[in-house]
Amino acid sequence: MNYTFQYGVVWKNLGELFDGAILTFQLGAVSFAGGALIGLFCAALIAYGPFILRLPVHVYVVAVTNTPALIQIYFLYYGLPEFGIRWSSEACLLIGLILNAGAYLTLIMRAGFLSVRRTELEAGQVLGLSIVQQVRYIVVPHIAKSIYPAMANFFIVILVMGTSIGSLIGVDELTGQAINLSSVNYRWLEYFTVVALMYVVLTFIASVGLALLGRWAFRVKARIF
């Protein structure tokens, strides 16, 4: 291999990569939060809603989870302008990721809803708790604890796999910055090895944070490694 690594140029532009990393984190957090709202709503519909409403939710989940996120985002980015809807790259990415995450989080949260057993609610009734108290002290903690590891894991997935799609429609997140910068001076390998490491560090920080949060808020042991 006659390739000499020259990292000097990468260090000079490290600031721009950091900007990209921050945008990556913001995009990941917003997509996850939006997806979690959709997931909560849809999972509740599947678990407790009438059939008429359950059907469209099922269609949404099956359609989204069986097609690539990239195609969904291309659809928004290249398809919607034909209907006169013109969103920015960032908006297309965010809306696409929120809809995508919503479907996966519906599946995760549905599993949580189904894991609450009737006997636990009955135990609550015997203790004389009101409906609100049952939900507050029994249902919510139980669901939170049972789905937290899967949710934390999915946050890493969306943070890594999800946001990097943005680079393909011109969003300057971490991968996008790497493409922009390296196409100037063709130091592709240097930029991408550094960016790969930055992703490792970024997700590692997120994992540690989530594990601490889980231990503090729900007393669950989420996996860092």
Partner 1 sequence: MDRLIEQIPRFFTASNVMMLAEAAYMTLAITVVGCLIGFGLALVLVYLRQTPGLWALPLRLVCVTYVEFFRRIPFLVIVYLVLFFIQALTPNASLFSIAVIAICLYAIAYTADIIRGGLESVPQTQVEAARAMNLSRFQTTFMIVLPQAWPVIVPPSIAFAVSFIKDTALVSQIGVFELTFRGKELNNQGYSGVLVFGTIALCYFILSFPLTLLGQHLEKRLATPRGQRHSRKLRRP
Question: What is the binding site for partner 1 (CB under 8 A)?
Answer: 1-3, 62-63, 66-72, 74-75, 77-83, 156, 160-161, 163-165, 167-168, 175, 178-179, 188-189, 192-193, 195-196, 199-200, 203-204, 225
Cβ 144 to partner 1, closest distance in Å?
A: 24
Considering the complex, state which of residue 144 and residue 193 has its C-beta at the smaller distance from partner 1: 193
For residues 199 and 43, the answer to whether their CB atoms sit within 8 Å is: no
Nearest one of 207, 202, 206 to 221, comparing CA atoms: 207
Nearer to partner 1, 11 or 78 (CB): 78
69 versus 93: smaller Cβ distance to partner 1: 69
**Minimum distance, C-beta of residue 122 to partner 1, in the bound complex (Å):** 28
Helix runs in the chain, H state only: 8-12, 14-48, 51-65, 69-74, 89-114, 118-126, 131-134, 140-157, 163-164, 174-185, 188-217
**CB of 51 or CB of 225, closer to partner 1:** 225
In contact, 145 and 218? CB cutoff 8 Å: yes
CB of 171 to partner 1, least distance (A): 12
Q: Which residues contact 157 (CB under 8 A, 6 or more apart)?
A: none
